[in-house]
Structure formats: structure tokens, C-alpha cells
Amino acid sequence: MHCELILGGARSGKSRHAETLAAASGLAVTVIATATAGDAEMAARIRRHQADRPAGWRTVEAPLALAAALRAEAAADRCVVVDCLTLWLANLLAGAEKLPEPAEADQLPLFRREREALLAVLGSLPGRILLVANEVGLGLVPETPLGRLFRDEAGRLNQAVAAICPRVTFVAAGLPLVLKGS
């Protein structure tokens, strides 16, 4: 199993880097997409991502049950691209704004269950797994409690996934910088 976390900011080239690695792998490629089209702008973004992918690549939608999708799709002869962990996290945190202050993500049973399932399965998957995520901790401190909760949980998730993956790459301005691994 080869698992890689690919981090970067918005429009950094992280998805393109993952797609380049997937294409170069010589394996059949499945993209696990976590985005949901909640509005017209997001629907257009999803269509752009789909149009950029080679026609032979398979796409599986998994806005919540990511660990189950990975178990179903990972295979020794396949490269799986998860795009992206950050949108998946946002989906899991839906409803957090209704939590009493100070809100903790562990108060959301779906979040807790799915995060634990992902971290438990990552080290045991066959094939090549490329996980795309946003690095959100380099900017301003969010103004709202929900924004701070999201930022904190994204950072914790990235750290936990990075600890499992033998390779971690940061992409800025389309340029990959290997942080861990060779």
C-alpha cells in the first residue's frame, strides 16, 4: 500500500498534482469525490473537475461514508484519489452550529464515527491512495466559533492522516514540496 497526503491552499494545484500522480501510476484510477453541489457555483466547480479527468477514470460520490468507499474501491491494481478530505470534513460538521458553546466536533456522532473509521482503514488499504486536503491553518483566525471549529478539526485531521501516510506533499503555486517520505 502506498498512501500519500497532498496538502495545499485553494487553487494551489493540489488536485492537479494528485491527478498527475494517478495518471502516471499506470493503474486503473477511481476518484472518490466528497463535494456536494449545494449551489450553482459549487455545481460548476464539480463539473470543471469532472471535465478535467480522463474519460476512463471512474468517479464514486462519497460525501459522508469515506471509509466505506475506500474499502470498496481500493485494490492492488488501482489508484484511488480522494478529493477532498476538507470538503468531507465540512459535510461531517453539518449541524455543528447548533451545538452549545464551546462546540466540540466530538459532540457530533456522525463526525466521530466517520473520522475514526477513516483513520482505522487508511493503513490497511491495498493499492495506491492519494488523499487531497486543504491546509487551512496558514490564514487568519476565523471570526466565528463554527469557523474556528472547522479550522481546528481540519488541522487535527491533516495531522492524523499525515502520521499514517508514508508520504506527505505540500503544493503551492503548482509546485510540489515533499514534507515526508521520498
- Residue 35 assigned ligand-binding role: yes
CA 109, 110, 111, 114 torsion-angle sign: positive
- Residue 11 assigned ligand-binding role: yes
- Residue 9 assigned ligand-binding role: yes
- Residue 33 assigned ligand-binding role: yes
What's at 5, amino acid-wise?
Answer: L
User: 115, exposed or middle or buried, with CB in 10 Å at 0-12, 13-18, 19+?
Assistant: buried
- Residue 34 assigned ligand-binding role: yes
Q: 49, 113, 148, 167: which is the annotated catalytic residue?
A: 49
Question: How far is Cα of residue 10 from the mean position of the Cα atoms in its chain?
Answer: 13
Q: If phi over 0 gives left and psi between -120 and 50 gives alpha, with beta otherwise, what is residue 154?
A: alpha
Residue 2 annotated to the active site: no
- Residue 181 assigned ligand-binding role: no
- Residue 83 assigned ligand-binding role: yes
Q: Read off the C-alpha cell for 139.
A: 490564514
- Annotated binding-site positions: 8-15, 33-35, 61, 83
- Annotated binding-site positions for GTP: 8-15, 33-35, 61, 83
Enumerate the active-site residues. Answer: 49
